[in-house]
Amino acid sequence: MHRSRKAKIVATLGPASSSKEMIKALFKAGADVFRFNFSHGSHTDHQLRCNIVREIEAELGRPIAILADLQGPKLRVGQFSAGRVILTAGQDFILDSDSTPGDANRVCLPHPELFAVITAGQALLLDDGKLRLQVMDSDAHSIRTRVINGGALSDRKGVNVPDAVLPIPALTEKDKRDLAFALDMGADWIALSFVQRPEDVAEAKALVAGRAGVLAKLEKPAALDRLEEIVAASDAIMVARGDLGVELPPERVPGVQKRILRVCRSHGKPIVIATQMLESMIAAPVPTRAEASDVASAIYDGADAVMLSAESASGAYPVAAVEIMDRIISEVERDPLYKNMVAAQHEAPQNNKGDAICAALRSVTQIVGAVATVTYTTSGHTSLRAARERPMAPILSITPTMNTARRLALVWGVHSSVSDVVSNEDILVATACRTAWQEGLAQVGEQIAITAGVPFGQPGSTNLLRIAEIWPQH
């Protein structure tokens, strides 16, 4: 089976989507990547879901990617003696290092590293931005604030600091334990939360050591100051609009999303748009028209993938959410305007052999009317560079490595197939023609464009381009 669309769908697994029947239904409805949220659930829960995904993968014969999403250094207030308090606009409120349960005047902030970087005039946002405090003054043990926007505040609610680069690692001790488990489990992608600097990505990549792709989640305004460096250091990017939308004014988020998309397209790095895409479907069988437009806009802008969070993890209509997202993407990609926008967004190839060949692959595909572009790749690099070119014909990525095939399930336009190692050009062409026919991407008499690297099996050596016709013997 192959998808008729090019953009991919990431679906989060959770309590509403833990059975084999449900996970298989989500995949058949259109999910290409399953997200495991390590902010929730035990290692045992994740391992059981992973086993189910791999069983379904074997039964259906299609590579499926698993994205392990690490919790990251989520900042939270401590506890209150009464469980919750009401803060009133204009009152003073103190966050301090005292672990005693709080009241309406103060609460513990169990993050001592923050006290040294918080300064007067900065804003603190509590409970996903519902409450806003302005810092009046601070010292090594306390921060005195004035309540700007009040409301109810209860135990362990989140704290966002939009005006500062925080001296906290992107990987907590919990994250490191979860990362080691996720790699042993066989995750294909590791999502790194609250990335602020390229050094955060470098730390994670050193621990991952090539066993998975590293996806940086952009949800801190500080990351935008070093966006180019973070994108260059990462294997993929996620625009996590939940926390980003808390720390940035709402009117800035659409423009920031488009800016990140452009940078990722320029670098040829896959980009996922996430959070609140079809949020009303947590409880309703259909999305709002605004949500449908949001998904469509991400596709028109060139996103590699769009993501469902609670909609598929804990919502009442997980399969319906994937189905409607699949239909929205397919409708956009049938629109002639979409093809024009993809062409208008086309990035000039970079100065290397791989980009030169992949740019030629795109041109050849258009000129001869090839029905598929075929990339033979070991590491996935050739398929990524081909996807950067955004050819209108499907990209059939043939690889001898299942891990590579799974990782490419996140990438725009790529349909992966696992095949034996090829040893010469004739075997390569025969394998490409046979696979394109078997996968339903090409019929007898149609042409395909093929690219690979010679010598075969050497990553980053893309230097071959062939046109072939599908014959009955294939």
Q: Which residue numbers are catalytic?
A: 35, 76, 217, 275
**SS3 state of residue 445:** coil
99 CB neighbour count, 10 Å cutoff: 10
Residues in contact with 169: Cβ distance below 8 Å, sequence separation at least 6, in sequence order: 73, 200, 203
184 CB neighbour count, 10 Å cutoff: 11
Rounded CA gap, 279 and 277, in Å?
A: 6
Q: What's the distance, Cα to Cα, between the start and end of the chain in Å?
A: 19
Is-contact 133 148, C-beta < 8 A?
yes
Q: Measured on CA atoms in the order 260, 263, 269, 270, is the torsion positive or negative?
A: positive
466 CB neighbour count, 10 Å cutoff: 16
Q: What would the DSSP string read from start to end of 46-98?
A: HHHHHHHHHHHHHHHT---EEEEE------B---BTTSEEEE-TT-EEEEES-
Closest-CA residue to 289 (of 278, 298, 305): 278
Can you name the residues that pair with 415 across neighbouring β-strands? 396
Is-contact 13 313, C-beta < 8 A?
yes
Rounded CA gap, 324 and 297, in Å?
A: 15
Can you name the residues that pair with 398 across neighbouring β-strands? 376, 417
339 CB neighbour count, 10 Å cutoff: 13
Instruction: List alpha helices for 128-209, DSSP H.
Output: 173-185, 198-208
Q: What is the CA radius of gyration of the chain?
A: 24
Rounded CA gap, 184 and 190, in Å?
A: 12
Rounded CA gap, 86 and 109, in Å?
A: 17
430 CB neighbour count, 10 Å cutoff: 15
Closest-CA residue to 84 (of 156, 8, 171, 140): 156
